[in-house]
Amino acid sequence: GGTIILHTDSSSSNVKVPKFIGLSVADANSTASTIGLNVKLSGLKLDEPDVTVSTQSIPEGTEVPTGTVITLNFIHNDSSGE
């Protein structure tokens, strides 16, 4: 086994890291793809519907080069909440 990291366009522009915390797996992937960041997903049960980002390896607002890899840790939220 190993880790495969997909790198997107490697232009030399910078992007601001958005807030990923609270996003679903699909939303986090979409957001990262839109601005040109690469994501590494970490956590359990990533295919569950109530899984959201709990931490991100690069703080929100940090300027990074396009194509930077950010690690997103996901947790399962129990949304029954009663």
- State the Cα–Cα distance between residues 10 and 13, nearest whole angstrom: 8
- State the Cα–Cα distance between residues 55 and 20, nearest whole angstrom: 8
Q: What confidence score (pLDDT) does residue 45 get?
A: 83
Mean pLDDT by 10 residues, the chain (82 residues): 62 88 95 95 86 96 95 83 48
Query: Widest CA span of the chain, in angstroms?
Result: 49
pTM higher than 0.85, yes or no? no
Element spanning 41, H or E: strand 38-43
Q: What confidence score (pLDDT) does residue 6 get?
A: 65
Q: What confidence score (pLDDT) does residue 68 get?
A: 95
**CA pseudo-torsion sign 9, 12, 15, 21:** positive
